[in-house]
């Protein structure tokens, strides 16, 4: 039977109704106008489709579909509920969905609440068939499933790989991008108020913590796991900043999975992010260089005064020490060590 082109229903504002019971088996509980009261279920997982004899099976309702090929897992109850809603030409009530799948209305209601919370369906009010409140009905929300799988790591691999293969200077391009985003993410300075070193370090630490770097401030010369301290890694004239902080340790890398193959992109991007943020805050200091894995579980950002009389501004990134370039090749504002 075909439904009307414009279903006579409207979206009801407000949060979804609370699921009946305390989160246990939705097949048991008090019924409502949508269906019977206590179910005769056995307490099984509501997502398990049970057939005759206790084995997996399919109900006779029109929404049930077997697995598409041998060895493929059968669809879950929630998938079946959503399939019935999507295939209907008009919004359906809980009772109607239950009848089509031959399952208890409480089980349907349990899954509809979850689908509503996930944004896969919409709840509305249908037409009154008589006295009393209009029935609650459900329809599929247009568009792709918002709860579908994501693969942002693949996206990151594609973009970093493309940048590494096509940019004339991949490290500089990554640094430029990091500085631009660091400037965008940093809190703007208060007009007509000079930013102190302590404020700048605090602002950078707060930003890095929010991005998942797990930063920690350090003073003095940093330790170096597995190698002696030397001028090749710690400048003899390491500046002593007013606040005492000379380094920021990064205990976590949000893009750790990419470091093994794309360190020439990820590490300069992180350095640029810090430089751009410090510049946007009008800080009197900047991240002069980044030392990846100065300790087995820590990368180390070195801080120093901004060269010249004015704070650095987001723009072309510094020179980078990276594979294929001589050690010690640096720009005016920093480097990534190898």
CB 291 within 8 A of CB 278: no
CB 171 within 8 A of CB 311: no
DSSP at 133:
S
The C-alpha atoms of residue 305 and residue 235 are separated, in whole angstroms, by: 14
- Is the pLDDT at 204 greater than 80? The verdict is yes
Q: Average pLDDT for residues 42-48, to the nearest whole number?
A: 42
pTM, entire model = 0.59
Considering only residues 49 and 236, tell me which one the structure prediction assigns the higher pLDDT.
49
- Is the pLDDT at 287 greater than 70? The verdict is yes
Minimal CA–CA distance to 306: which of 179, 188, 189, 197?
197
Considering only residues 142 and 8, tell me which one the structure prediction assigns the higher pLDDT.
142
Mean pLDDT (the chain, rounded): 73
H or E, element range at 298: strand 298-305
Q: Average pLDDT for residues 193-211, to the nearest whole number?
A: 94
Say what the pLDDT of residue 128 is.
77
- Is the pLDDT at 165 greater than 70? The verdict is yes
CB 303 within 8 A of CB 285: yes
pLDDT in tens, 67-100: 445 556 778 899 999 999 999 999 999 999 999 9
CA distance readout (Å), 106 to 75, 93, 109, 151: 19, 12, 5, 34
**How would you classify residue 43: left for phi > 0, otherwise alpha for psi between -120 and 50, otherwise beta?**
left
Most confident of 11-20, 128-137, 226-235, 289-298: 289-298
Which residues lie closer than 8 Å to 327 by C-beta, 6 or more apart? 232, 321, 338
CB 323 within 8 A of CB 268: no
């Amino acid at each position: 039977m075909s439904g009307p082109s414009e279903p006579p229903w409207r979206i009801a504002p407000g949060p979804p109704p609370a699921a009946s019971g305390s989160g246990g088996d939705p097949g048991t509980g008090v019924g409502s106008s949508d269906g019977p009261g206590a179910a005769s279920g056995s307490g099984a997982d509501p997502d398990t489709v049970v057939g005759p004899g206790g084995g997996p099976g399919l109900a006779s309702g029109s929404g049930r579909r077997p697995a598409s090929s041998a060895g493929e897992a059968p669809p879950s109850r929630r998938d079946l509920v959503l399939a019935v809603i999507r295939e209907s030409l008009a919004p359906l009530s809980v009772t109607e969905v239950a009848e089509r799948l031959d399952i208890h209305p409480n089980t349907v209601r349990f899954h509809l609440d979850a689908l509503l919370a996930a944004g896969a369906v919409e709840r509305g009010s249908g037409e009154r068939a008589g006295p009393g409140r209009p029935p609650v009905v459900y329809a599929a929300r247009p568009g792709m499933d918002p709860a579908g799988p994501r693969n942002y790591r693949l996206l990151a691999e594609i973009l970093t790989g493309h940048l590494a293969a096509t940019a004339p200077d991949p490290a500089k391009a990554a640094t430029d991008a990091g500085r631009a985003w660091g400037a965008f993410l940093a809190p703007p300075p208060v007009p007509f108020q000079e930013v102190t070193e302590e404020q700048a370090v605090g602002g950078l630490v707060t930003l890095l913590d929010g991005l998942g770097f797990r930063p920690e401030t350090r003073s003095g010369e940093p330790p170096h796991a597995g190698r002696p301290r030397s001028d090749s890694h710690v400048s003899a004239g390491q500046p002593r900043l007013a606040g005492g902080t000379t380094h920021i340790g990064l205990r976590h890398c949000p893009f750790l999975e990419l470091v093994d193959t794309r360190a020439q992109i990820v590490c300069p991007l992180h350095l640029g992010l810090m430089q751009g943020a410090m510049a946007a805050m009008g800080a009197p200091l900047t991240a002069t260089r980044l030392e990846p894995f100065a300790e087995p579980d820590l990368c180390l950002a070195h801080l120093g005064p901004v060269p010249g009389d004015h704070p650095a501004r987001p723009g072309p990134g510094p020179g980078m020490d990276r594979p294929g370039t001589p050690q010690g090749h640096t720009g005016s504002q920093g480097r990534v060590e190898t």
